[in-house]
Amino acid sequence: MNALLIMLLSFSGYLLMYRLYGRYIGRRIFAITDENIAPSVELEDGVDYVPTRKEIIFGHHFTSIAGTGPIVGPAIAIIWGWIPALLWVFVGSIMMGAVHDLGALIISMRNKGKSISDYTAKYINGRSRIFFFIIVFLELWIVIAIFGMVIAIIFSMFPTSVVPVWLQIPIAVALGVLLYKRGGNFGLWSLVAVLLMYATIVLGAFLPLEMPTVLGVPATGVWTIILLIYAFVASVLPVTVLLQPRDFINAYQLVIAMLLLTVGVLFSAFSGNLTIVAPAFQAAPAEAPPLWPFLFITIACGAISGFHALVSSGTSAKQVRRESDSLFVGYGSMLVEGALATLVILAVAAGIGMGYTSASGEYLTGVAAWTQQYSSWAAASGMGSKITAFVNGASNMIAATGVPREIAVVIMGVFVASFAGTTLDTATRIQRYIVTELFTELRLNVFQNRYIATGFVVVTAALLAFASGANGAGALSLWPLFGAVNQTLAALALIIVTLYLRRDGGMKWVYAGIPAAFMSVMTIWAAVLNQVEYGGSHNILLQVINAAIILIVLWVTVEGLLQFFRPVPERAVAAEHGGDA
């Protein structure tokens, strides 16, 4: 099928479904109304609760949920064929992911901006709340511990991205000061910040920076330490100082990168150089696990991801200034992520065929290039392999527009590294909220201090990162569990959204209930297959943790079903839409 036609049909579908299905879900199912006072207004503190323009909070929300997820997932899942990957991204993002994200955001906004872990007690019971905390803490612990190394890998692969990524920080801080402290013109200074950011990208092309070994600590370990320090600082600062303006700049970066890729598809298609070289369907790739259920675990961000519920009910719910903005932020950002995942699929399905240099130095094109990159599951599954496949394919398409390929590589390298960075600092802030909520419940009120809570988060992540040595790769021991943990969280979040809608009576609950049932089956199925694999390899650590995940998802699912069939008190229904929960 023609890559240009795929892109046009997909993008048109996302726009149409936002206007039709998205607005229906927002207005008729969640009954969005500005009569409810948003937590950002009611609890405004200038640090975490800050009412924010929807364009700015969209930038924060999108760059936080995206990270490298919509890149690495599709870049490996395409090994089963571009049709299954594309269908799951399109249908999943519209019918499941966007409903999941919007639901978590709305429920949190109607519960004082509390995290999904905290308000689980209200919709199921206290036992389920503890289990939810365990799943959330485990996911964020792995993310924070490993993303320092992920960014270090990106810096190693693309040393020209280092300078631009770090220079984004002073640019973002300056933008925050101009907009929030001095009341500067929003459009003007945003444009200046973006132009400066792209000037640093050109600068980075001439100033590549490679981190040396420091005191016996390899480059990945050094970067992990630096990035965890950065995450601590970013988490304790008021959101208006760094988090919002940096994510806003990165949102512009996303839009520009997607425009470049879109124009690249157009130019490449019209020149006859863009042909899909990936197979349409490949049921049994070499060494790969079965498509069912692992396609739905491998592609998370871009279709549906439990991490999104943490962002929606973590940072975003504390910044959205009115409920009517939540549709654009929660539902809209998920569809944009689906569009990004679609471009990633085209980059690795077609763009890579425009030219690929193998590890041995051989230059390949067409089907031979794709086959070399995706010769087996092992060849395609490494972090570096996924990112390389995307950056190579995307750079080839951008170069078709006349942009020098060297600059295109820097643009995409900075794009990937920047998004990984926003995921790191947002995950650290959310984990701080989780730790504060959990320890406050246990009457350890010292963790209400954001410096102490963040210090605990960073130190525990560092312990995991350096558990296996100075290279900071300790979290890799738990990384095989991440996909299952993440999608388990998505299933559990959808169960909470289903129970919330069930309180309103009628059949509204089916819009979340069907996705909840689907994701519960897929995650339990994948977790059981993983348990068999870990048992065969005698990996005790993964066996124990994976068994705990299976028990938790089964427990919460059963508790959720029991709660579903209980009658709902009328006063609980009345409280939901009054915002006094």
Instruction: Give mean pLDDT in consecutive 10-residue pieces for the chain, a chain of 581 residues.
Output: 87 97 96 95 93 90 84 89 96 97 97 88 85 88 86 86 92 87 78 90 89 90 93 92 85 86 87 84 86 93 94 94 96 95 91 78 81 73 72 88 87 85 89 89 86 95 91 83 89 95 89 96 93 91 91 90 80 52 42
Contact at 8 Å (CB) between 369 and 353? yes
What DSSP state is assigned to residue 404? -
What element of type H or E holds 357? strand 356-357
pTM of the model: 0.91
What's the CA angle centered on 490, arms 148 and 346, to 5 degrees?
Answer: 70
Q: How far is the CA of 98 from the CAs of 18, 21, 52, 227, 510, in angstroms? A: 9, 10, 21, 30, 15
Among 128, 437, 456, 451, residue whose Cα is nearest residue 313: 437
Contact residues for 119 (Cβ-Cβ < 8 A; gap 6+): 107, 108, 111, 313, 496, 581
Joined together, the tokens standing for residue 377 give 């599951």
87-103 burial, b if ≥16 CB within 10 A, otherwise e? ebbbebbbbbbbbbbbb
575 C-beta neighbours (distance < 10 Å), count: 15
Structure tokens at 564: 């579903």
Which is nearest to 48 in space by CA: 228, 239, 189, 271?
239
Strand runs (DSSP E) across 410-563, as ranges? none
Pick from 14, 23, 15: nearest CA to 327: 23
Phi and psi at residue 388, to the nearest 5°? -60, -45
- In angstroms, the CA 544 to CA 159 distance is 39
**Cis bond before residue 293 (omega within 30° of 0):** yes
Residue 499, CA distances (Å) to 2, 89, 170, 230, 269 in order: 43, 26, 44, 38, 47
Within 8 A by CB and 6+ apart from 496, the residues are 103, 104, 107, 116, 119, 120, 123, 124, 560
